[in-house]
Chains A and B, each alone.
Chain A
Amino acid sequence: QKEVEQNSGPLSVPEGAIASLNCTYSDRGSQSFFWYRQYSGKSPELIMFIYSNGDKEDGRFTAQLNKASQYVSLLIRDSQPSDSATYLCAVKYPSGSARQLTFGSGTQLTVLP
């Protein structure tokens, strides 16, 4: 069983809409959660992280965490064509592990002009 699951997509939304990207994880001890964006042919770049249950907002991006349901999501408001990329969810192993992050396989998002 994969430890971090994402819908691979592709997910298409019209420009200006809200894009919703979802991620589930299997380790209840996980404490930190990261969203990376990866443009085609480029390396991943961090866009948000969240540690606590609830919502965290940064500009057009909102990360939502529900530890009881082992679920983390990323909402992109007012989606732009420049948001078209693959979004990777990453989960940090519990404290004491040097192994760091486990990545999902990513969701490909296309924002249609």
Chain B
Amino acid sequence: DTGVSQDPRHKITKRGQNVTFRCDPISEHNRLYWYRQTLGQGPEFLTYFQNEAQLEKSRLLSDRFSAERPKGSFSTLEIQRTEQGDSAMYLCASSPPEAGPYEQYFGPGTRLTVT
């Protein structure tokens, strides 16, 4: 049973560029979550999906951020016009139907550095 995978693991981009991250959840997991973690802090919730529906978005998710889960499987998180403050680890998690959101399994994260 493979875990949550994220791609790329590291991304360095220049300010103003757009970036897109991908998350593949554990097979059969219907819920998928995105979190952001800055250095020395705990992860902060960004958004989550149940199947293909985006059910909640944090106010941290500015207009420059968009997340999709078009077929209820993998998800993408896009950041447009990146800023230095976007530098962080972006974590994806998924949870199985029987556990609701109370059993979230995290991927290895994508570390974004904006120069």
Q: Do A and B come from one complex?
A: no
Interface residues, chain A, CB within 8 Å of chain B? none
Interface residues, chain B, CB within 8 Å of chain A? none
